[in-house]
Structure 1
Amino acid sequence: MAAAPRERSPFLGLLPLPERTAIAQALRTETVGGLVLLGAAVVALVWANTPWADTYERIRDFHFGIPALGLDLSVGHWTADGLLTLFFLVAGIELKRELVVGELRTPATAALPVIAAISGMIVPATFYTITASAGGGSLDGWAVPMATDIAFALAVLAVLSTHLPAALRAFLLTLAVVDDLGGILVIAVFFTSDLNFAALGGALAGLVVFYLLQRFRVRGWWWYAPLGLTIWALMYNGGVHATVAGVAMGLILRTTRDADEDRSPGERTSHLLHPVSAGVAVPLFALFATGVSVSVASLSDVFTKPEPLGVVLGLVLGKTVGIFAGTYLAARFTRARLNPELAWADVFALSALAGIGFTVALLIGELAFPDPAATGPVKAAVLVGSLTAAALAAMLIKRRNGVYRRLYEEENRDDDHDGIPDVYQVDATTER
């Protein structure tokens, strides 16, 4: 007699234990980094609106580097083009892990978060385009409201002291990872100028060497660190935003372990660089990217000029509508069954939380509007939109926090103190 087909796990149901452990480790660092990020943004805003604002601008615009190598950059550009490469390197590793062993490894599990993320990029861009077109504004900023800032979102959850279940946090992380890939593709394709094909050819050759070193299991940071810096410098001089190099190297790093390894190269690199990325690189970028002058006039510009208004509407409404509609329609199309312990209101709250677009939105805003007169209102719009999305999500999440607390406690109960949550042992006992 043929065995009955195994029932599919419900959407946003209990995660497999290894996946749950990996997600928890990644999000723990992101949460701490998000709190530091919030602090850096507050410092920048206060500093830029005090009598010492000129000091802030002098530090941000101070140039240093190696002019002979084409690397004479301001402090602001070093944080955006240099330090953010670490952020995208870690994002590339996380995307590779998701593709190999995580939620994106099979079409069945990848369908919902990928469709939700793509919808969550297309709809905000559409909101911006419609708003800017209707107001006679520039369409250059269509990509600004596309990305989700996972660190900022987790910092909001930490401030709320919420007990969001692991599956909801994993879904948010997967959305952000796909968003980051979309953001870096947009940067690579639409924000390149004065291409130097010789330098780009050198960067590509460096990536091939990087791949071969991984392929032949060559170990030792002294091989990869100089090679990575060379690839980054060549990519920058090639006219493509240097953060693309970070994602490329992250995707090349191996995320599966050999028999003689405790951790894969991707795991080791992420373990080493994730705290630096979340706790140093992203906050420093925020420090020198969010220092905008806040006044009644500047805030008025956010809601009266088409470009910043398009950014706000894209983040607050576009993200919420895009992710929720994409998830709901994909679930109906694939006949996915929502975890009976949750409701579609929980997906809606998570969609609103994804409207926090801080880091990548600021980066794309600087690239789309290089003129300081235009950059300021767009940066202010990113701040206003992200804070509005955070406030909306906070209201929706706190309303359901009693449910989340109960699920969280059930997921983490360990009455026999063996380090494995009882819910996994119950499942194993039932299967036997």
Structure 2
Amino acid sequence: MSQPAWSTSLARFLRTETVGGSLLLLAAALALIWVNSPLGDSYTALRDFQIGPESLHLHLSLGTWAKDGLLAVFFFVAGLELKRELVVGELADRKKALLPVIAACGGVVLPAVIAATVGWGAPGMDRGWAIPVATDIAFALGVLALTGSRIPTSARVFLLSLAVVDDLIGIALIAVLFTSGLALMWLVATVVLAAAYWVAQQRRITTAWLYVPLALLTWYAMHQAGIHATVAGVVLGLLTRVRTDPGEDYAPSERLEHRIQPWSAGFCVPVFALFASGVPLGAEMIGNVFTDPVGLAIVLGLLIGKTVGIFSSAWLAIRVGIATRPTGLMWGDLFALAVLGAIGFTVSLLIAELSLGGVDGGAAAEIAKAAVLVTSLIASILGSALLLRRGRAHRKQNEPTKGVD
């Protein structure tokens, strides 16, 4: 049965990066306005409202469902995209892949070092140093699409590859740092279910009646095992087949991304942002962002650490000859993209909640999330200004010289 035309048009609309980034931003703005309005108590009540079967240990708040459940869909789409890049995309060529990988590593290590140093001794920063390590894929690509249309398309490939790699590192840190009370039998069940998914892929089974229950059971088993359940999304994404068979128009990864990405961009990520971004932003909170050790560690880790870490590691790799600069990109372009790398939204907010949610009654997490939001806004504005400037430079460079036929 074919989809109605309006449904197809809506899905196509939601697949565009500008729309995904805009919806994420709107959801975050709505949360901030709501929680800081006279109706702020209703926001808190909705976020903390619990739903789900207690017998399955799934009686969770709506905020937790968004963080553990809906965000797993986002990570599944990210896993699909990463798998495709690794097998048949830009990351399949080692030489082409090396620059964004090195840049991503620099953009993970330096922010972590800065955050750990500045926040040293603050409660929760034994794991909170991981908050500024990841670049938000949807937000960064949305800003690039809005303000960087005149710079070469290789900029998108570089930023996408970089964001996917450092998000993968962020996901790995979530799995390592926030796994508590590991339940071995549930872990075995997770491995068995994931293996069943992989076997079904290899046997070219296509029915959703198998994959949907397998995905839900894998998520549940990982949740019960004590590993953050969003990791299940990226695991299944990486196990999905990306090469087409003879006579096959699209690989399963392409079909799944085509169907699920609109839900991820149009519903899952905005709802997560709605519940994660509700931070009181009075004068005292803004002051804490720039004076409290936790807030300052995140601001400096994201804005300075990501920018300098990404750009300096890319510059060094190109200078020593182990990587090449993307086609058409100049040093100014790379610096602008490095600034966009400081947009740490989805994964940073998630790690902030996981690492600091129980510190000082949640006050530390509120400061951390406010720092992420403020810094991401600053990085978006600075990155946009630099991209617009670089766009004008490329336009002038491509204009024909006057008087020359």
RMSD, aligned CA: 2.2
1:125 is aligned to 2:112 = yes
TM-score (norm 1): 0.85
* Alignment deviations for residues 189-225 of structure 1 (CA, whole Å, 9 cap, x no partner): 1111111111111111100111111111112111100
Is the Cα contact below 8 Å between 2:148 and 2:387 reproduced in 1?
no
Which of residues 354, 360, 365 in structure 1 aligns to 2:352? Answer: 365
Deviation at 1:334, TM superposition (A): 2.6
Mapped to 2, the partners of 1:202 and 1:29 lie a distance apart of 37
- In the other structure, the counterpart of 1:296 is 283
Is the Cα contact below 8 Å between 1:30 and 1:150 reproduced in 2?
no
1:41 is aligned to 2:28 = yes
AA partner of residue 98 (structure 1): E
1:190 is aligned to 2:180 = no
**Shift in alpha-carbon separation, 1:133–1:212, aligned structure 2, 3 A:** same
Is the Cα contact below 8 Å between 1:165 and 1:408 reproduced in 2?
no
Mapped to 2, the partners of 1:379 and 1:409 lie a distance apart of 44
1:98 is aligned to 2:88 = no
**Shift in alpha-carbon separation, 1:64–1:409, aligned structure 2, 3 A:** farther
* Alignment deviations for residues 364-420 of structure 1 (CA, whole Å, 9 cap, x no partner): 00011012111110000001111111122122222212134578999xxxxxxxxxx
Mapped to 1, the partners of 2:189 and 2:136 lie a distance apart of 32
* Alignment deviations for residues 243-289 of structure 1 (CA, whole Å, 9 cap, x no partner): 11000000000011001211111111110111111111000000000
- In the other structure, the counterpart of 1:401 is 391
* Alignment deviations for residues 294-331 of structure 1 (CA, whole Å, 9 cap, x no partner): 11111111111111100000110000000001111111
Mapped to 2, the partners of 1:289 and 1:182 lie a distance apart of 21
- In the other structure, the counterpart of 2:237 is 250
Q: Secondary structure at the match of 2:104?
A: helix
**Shift in alpha-carbon separation, 1:65–1:164, aligned structure 2, 3 A:** farther
Q: Secondary structure at the match of 2:36?
A: coil
Is the Cα contact below 8 Å between 2:14 and 2:266 reproduced in 1?
no
Identity %: 49
**Shift in alpha-carbon separation, 1:208–1:360, aligned structure 2, 3 A:** same
Deviation at 1:155, TM superposition (A): 2.8
- In the other structure, the counterpart of 2:5 is none
Q: Secondary structure at the match of 1:373?
A: helix
Q: Secondary structure at the match of 2:59?
A: strand
1:349 is aligned to 2:339 = no
Which of residues 390, 405, 409 in structure 1 aligns to 2:380? Answer: 390
1:85-164 alignment runs, 5 A limit: 85-133=72-120, 138-160=125-147, 162-164=149-151
**Shift in alpha-carbon separation, 1:147–1:262, aligned structure 2, 3 A:** same
AA partner of residue 269 (structure 2): V
Mapped to 2, the partners of 1:228 and 1:274 lie a distance apart of 16
Is the Cα contact below 8 Å between 1:162 and 1:405 reproduced in 2?
no
1:27-38 alignment runs, 5 A limit: 29-38=16-25
AA partner of residue 329 (structure 1): L
**Shift in alpha-carbon separation, 1:56–1:127, aligned structure 2, 3 A:** same
Q: Secondary structure at the match of 2:247?
A: coil
Deviation at 1:180, TM superposition (A): 1.4
Aligned length: 386
- In the other structure, the counterpart of 2:69 is 82
Mapped to 2, the partners of 1:313 and 1:254 lie a distance apart of 40
Mapped to 1, the partners of 2:50 and 2:326 lie a distance apart of 53
- In the other structure, the counterpart of 1:214 is 201
Deviation at 1:336, TM superposition (A): 4.5
- In the other structure, the counterpart of 1:173 is 160
Mapped to 2, the partners of 1:171 and 1:38 lie a distance apart of 23
Residue ranges of structure 1 left out of the alignment (5+ in a row): 1-24, 411-432
